């Protein structure tokens, strides 16, 4: 078997996005919108609007270190939480989101209230380049049940579509960040980033056919197992082996049910481990689930083919078909080193 760990490491360095404090551009965009939010809230207060204090916090893939660069000039998605010091009983969710919308509405030419956030889009060269999703929350300590709530609903949506929904974004971040440590943690994130790039490469960016990135990360939280192999007498991370183990485990989680036509289809449930404990794949239709299941099977077959290939050149060509052109292929005469079967172990968990 060819040793392709070096190529996985190079691939990961190419596609990964650093966390906010390591990425100057992302940090600058984040700080710009937070400055505008602060200025806009202050302006409303000066006009007599009674807006309580708030705090901001990081959330999303950049905060857990699983962000990947978009393919082909796509948009960078930055997630920020805004927690107001108020109970849900004081204001409707849309009222609170309006404070945020009005504070930032003239910051760029594209600002809109979406169901679960206020989105600010930055355009460069006539094309969307970055967008910042501001998720608005009610402070946990101000609610009788001690829970944080997310403001959901659009400005003109019916009352039944406006709600305060229980949420625990920072608890989810902590669970993912603490699931594995050291080399196991690095391999865990490396595997998630590889699968997110595979998703972007293999699924259309139009529509909702692809699984959400957070669904892949939480699936890994549930079912990922680190893997090592022996190379020249020393243990080495084996990302290829770990991905095979994970996808094999993932496929076993699918159950089969019937769609509205009575036809059987595979269905994967990825349960969020914190409030609201929802299924992160719930929005996927029967046909989308069929496609997802089939493409996971195809990916697993390709990974196993690469694992059994003695030539790193052809092994990496197989991997490149699934992960895209950023996966490097070594020269034909680079024979690599043979290796034994991967040794798996459970990592330290938080």
pLDDT 10s digits, 131-184: 899 999 999 999 999 999 999 999 888 888 899 999 999 999 999 999 999 999
Whole-number pLDDT of residue 345: 59
Neighbours of 255 (CB within 10 A): 9
**DSSP for residue 343:** E
Whole-number pLDDT of residue 343: 56
Asked if pLDDT for residue 344 goes beyond 60, the answer is no
Among 30-34, 185-189, 228-232, 334-338, name the one with the lowest average pLDDT: 334-338
Domain boundaries along the sequence of the chain: 5-15+173-344, 20-167
Asked if pLDDT for residue 279 goes beyond 90, the answer is yes
User: Are residues 56 and 82 in contact, defined by beta-carbon separation less than 8 angstroms?
Assistant: yes
Place 110 in a pLDDT band, splitting at 50, 70 and 90: confident
User: Are residues 218 and 66 in contact, defined by beta-carbon separation less than 8 angstroms?
Assistant: no
Helices 213-223 and 169-178: crossing angle in degrees, nearest 10, is 50
Place 260 in a pLDDT band, splitting at 50, 70 and 90: confident
Place 95 in a pLDDT band, splitting at 50, 70 and 90: very high
User: Are residues 143 and 109 in contact, defined by beta-carbon separation less than 8 angstroms?
Assistant: no
Max Cα-Cα span within the chain: 73
Whole-number pLDDT of residue 334: 58
- What percent of the chain stands above pLDDT 70? 92
Distances (CA, A) of 159 to 95, 119, 153: 12, 21, 8
82 vs 346: which has the higher pLDDT: 82
Whole-number pLDDT of residue 342: 53
Over residues 205-254, the pLDDT tens digits come to 655 578 899 999 999 999 999 999 877 778 889 999 999 999 999 999 99
In this prediction, residues 21-36 reach a mean pLDDT of: 83
Q: Which CATH architecture has domain 20-167?
A: 2-Layer Sandwich (3.30)
Nearest to 225 by CA among 211, 244, 212, 251: 244
Place 340 in a pLDDT band, splitting at 50, 70 and 90: very low
In this prediction, residues 90-109 reach a mean pLDDT of: 92
CA angle (287, 292, 297) in 5-degree steps: 125
In this prediction, residues 52-58 reach a mean pLDDT of: 96
Highest mean pLDDT among 60-69, 98-107, 316-325: 316-325
CA-based end-to-end distance of the chain: 34
Q: Output the six-digit token pair for 290.
A: 């069929």
Whole-number pLDDT of residue 157: 85
CA angle (250, 266, 215) in 5-degree steps: 45
What's the whole-number average pLDDT of the chain? 90
Torsion, Cα of 172, 36, 98, 279 (10° steps): -20
DSSP characters over 35-59:
HHHHHHHHHHHHTT-----EEEEE-
Beta bridge mates, 68: 16
Over residues 295-305, the pLDDT tens digits come to 999 999 999 99
Element (H, E) at 121: strand 118-124
Nearest to 211 by CA among 269, 149, 252, 273: 269
Distances (CA, A) of 338 to 4, 112, 230, 305, 309: 10, 54, 10, 15, 10
């Amino acid at each position: 078997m060819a040793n392709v760990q070096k190529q996985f490491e190079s691939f990961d360095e190419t596609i990964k996005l650093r966390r906010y404090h390591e990425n100057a551009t992302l940090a600058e965009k984040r700080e710009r919108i937070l400055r505008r939010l602060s200025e806009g809230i202050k302006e409303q207060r000066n006009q007599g609007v009674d807006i309580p204090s708030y705090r901001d916090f990081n959330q999303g893939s950049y905060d857990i270190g699983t962000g990947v660069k978009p393919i082909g000039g796509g948009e960078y998605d930055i997630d920020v939480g805004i927690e107001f010091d108020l109970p849900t009983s004081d204001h409707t969710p849309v009222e609170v989101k309006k404070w945020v919308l009005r504070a930032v509405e003239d910051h760029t030419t594209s600002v809109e209230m979406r169901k679960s956030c206020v989105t600010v889009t930055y355009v460069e060269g006539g094309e969307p380049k970055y967008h910042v999703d501001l998720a608005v929350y009610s402070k946990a300590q101000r609610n009788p049940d001690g829970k944080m709530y997310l403001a959901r609903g659009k400005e003109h949506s019916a009352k039944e579509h406006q709600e305060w929904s229980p949420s625990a974004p920072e608890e989810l971040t902590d669970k993912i960040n603490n699931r594995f440590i050291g080399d196991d943690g690095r391999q865990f994130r490396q595997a998630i980033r590889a699968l997110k790039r595979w998703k972007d490469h293999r699924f259309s960016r139009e529509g909702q056919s692809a699984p959400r990135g957070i669904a892949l990360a939480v699936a890994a939280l549930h079912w990922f197992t680190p893997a090592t192999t022996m190379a020249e007498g020393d243990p080495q991370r084996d990302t290829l082996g770990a991905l095979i183990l994970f996808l094999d485990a993932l496929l076993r989680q699918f159950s089969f049910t019937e769609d509205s036509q009575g036809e059987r289809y595979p269905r994967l449930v990825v349960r969020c481990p914190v409030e609201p404990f929802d299924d992160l794949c719930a929005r996927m239709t029967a046909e989308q689930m069929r496609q997802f299941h089939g493409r996971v099977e195809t990916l697993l077959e390709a990974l196993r083919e690469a694992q059994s290939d003695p030539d790193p050149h052809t092994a990496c060509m197989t991997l490149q078909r699934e992960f895209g052109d950023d996966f490097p292929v070594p020269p034909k005469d680079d024979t690599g080193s043979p290796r034994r079967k991967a040794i798996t172990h459970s990592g330290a968990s938080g």
